[in-house]
Amino acid sequence: MSIEWHIARRYLVAKKRQNAIHVISGISCLAVAVVTAAMICVLSVMNGFGDAVASMFSQLDAELRITPKQGKVLDLQDPRITALYAMPEIAIIAPTVEETALVEFRGKQVPALLKGVDTTYQQLTTIDSIMIDGDYMVWDGAFERCVMGVGLANTIGIGARFISPVHLYAPKRVGKVNMLRPDENFRSKGVFIAGVFAVNQMQYDDTYLLISLPLARELFEYEPTQATAIELRLQEGVSVRKQQKRIRAALGEDYAVLNRYEQQADFYRIQMIEKWLTALLLVFILLIASFNIISSLSMLILDKSDDIRLLHALGADEPMIRRIFLYEGWMISIVGALAGTVLGVTVCGIQQYFGILKLGNGMNYVLSAYPVSLQLTDVLLVLAVVLALGALAAWIPARKVKVER
């Protein structure tokens, strides 16, 4: 340890003749610690909310989704597509058809996003776990069935045990438009509801309606070898990122291969913006807390004017004396940052395992307590920001130290 570090440490921890300066230094450490802990806790809670919503999306979103980059339809007989069936890393391949249609039940009409799925869809997702009424079924062997989101079901006033059919209307894709008979411009089908699901996300609950893939192809006039997307489930233990790159390379530039985050890119972009805007506000609070370091160092420099002259008489030059007070400021920020990190990680751990802070009255349908997801990258980033601002705050008063001659 250099002489500068030794003297700076003595100034920080040793008893002082004037207790006020000692108290101010302690307050500076405390301010840095509190802001550091707050940044870690806030970022962890934002991560927790993001993970919670991502888990909801994953109940209907496939691990990988293949769509054409141009147009809406892909050809299942494309050799590049058929080659996917030979990949051992892929467990399930499910073509789907998604289009917007009009849903009508007992005079109530609402637009919805119809998704045609095949028999493998139940193994592709965890839809069984989110059924709140009835069962998942799109074909019972005799009749066409459908499964819809809870918001859509409430809008048209239907439940899983209703025996009246739901009518689906889709505009014809081919042929001329009949201006005299507008009703002939639509294809219509009737289906019976089998169940209602709840993802607790409006974009699914209020708009999604699942039907069988053959019915979707018939309703929207697609060929049996056509689909709007292909959804994949990988074998257990297979890296999604590596397999995504491998499939992209195999399909070429004509297809987009999207993971779950990319399928919900808008949501995750907004979530990240919210997270880092919140962190930016806390950085401004940290800037204010850094003024405590500046003030405490300035007062310490005034208090140690006699020591400065003595050190200079003993041979210490101005740069050496400046480093002493610079190191003093660094120690304040380091101690505060480490204490805040320990405090923040501890609070996050307690909340994660015990859920002390409740959401509302603690009886929320989706989450009963604030979710927490502590990430090492966030902790390291917070430490880097705190230490950088602390170093800057220490440099401002230290650079003005001068020896009175």
362 and 223 within one domain: no
206 and 112 within one domain: yes
158 and 33 within one domain: no
Residue 245 lies in a domain: yes
Residue 32 lies in a domain: yes
Residue 48 lies in a domain: yes
More confident residue, 233 or 57: 233
Q: Count structural domains, the chain.
A: 2
User: Of 233, 262, 291, which closes a domain?
Assistant: 262
Q: What pLDDT, in 10s, does the model give residues 239-273?
A: 989 999 999 999 989 999 998 888 887 778 888 88
312 and 238 within one domain: no
Mean pLDDT within 204-213? 93
Residue 120 lies in a domain: yes
Residue 164 lies in a domain: yes
Mean pLDDT within 390-399? 81
306 and 249 within one domain: no
Residue 347 lies in a domain: yes
Mean pLDDT within 373-396? 88
Residue 403 lies in a domain: no
Confidence of residue 365 (pLDDT cuts 50, 70, 90): low
201 and 81 within one domain: yes
The two three-digit tokens of residue 308, written as one number: 């400065």
Confidence of residue 215 (pLDDT cuts 50, 70, 90): very high
69 and 51 within one domain: no
More confident residue, 157 or 298: 157
235 and 167 within one domain: yes
| Domain of residue 174, residue span | 64-262
Please state the φ and ψ torsions of residue 72, each to the nearest 5 degrees.
-115, -15
Q: What pLDDT, in 10s, does the model give residues 91-138?
A: 999 999 999 999 999 989 999 999 999 988 888 888 888 899 999 999
User: Of 262, 283, 311, which closes a domain?
Assistant: 262
CA–CA separation, 377 and 371 (whole Å): 18
284 and 226 within one domain: no
Cα dihedral 129, 130, 131, 132 in deg (nearest 10): 120
CA–CA separation, 312 and 88 (whole Å): 75
Residue 24 carries which side chain, given as an amino acid letter? Answer: I
pTM of the model: 0.72
CA–CA separation, 370 and 366 (whole Å): 11
User: Of 262, 289, 324, which closes a domain?
Assistant: 262
307 and 258 within one domain: no
Q: Is the pLDDT of residue 230 over 90?
A: yes
373 and 291 within one domain: yes
241 and 189 within one domain: yes
- What share of the chain in percent tops pLDDT 90? 38
Q: Tell me how far CA of residue 248 lies from CA of 81, 132, 226, 347, in angstroms.
A: 11, 37, 20, 42
Residue 405 lies in a domain: no
Cβ-in-10-Å burial (0-12, 13-18, 19+) of 162 comes to middle
CA–CA separation, 145 and 166 (whole Å): 9
Confidence of residue 79 (pLDDT cuts 50, 70, 90): very high
Confidence of residue 154 (pLDDT cuts 50, 70, 90): very high
State the DSSP string of 147-215. EEEHHHHHHHT--TT--SPEEEEEE-SSS---SS-GGGGEEEEEEEEEEEE--S-HHHHTTEEEEEHHH
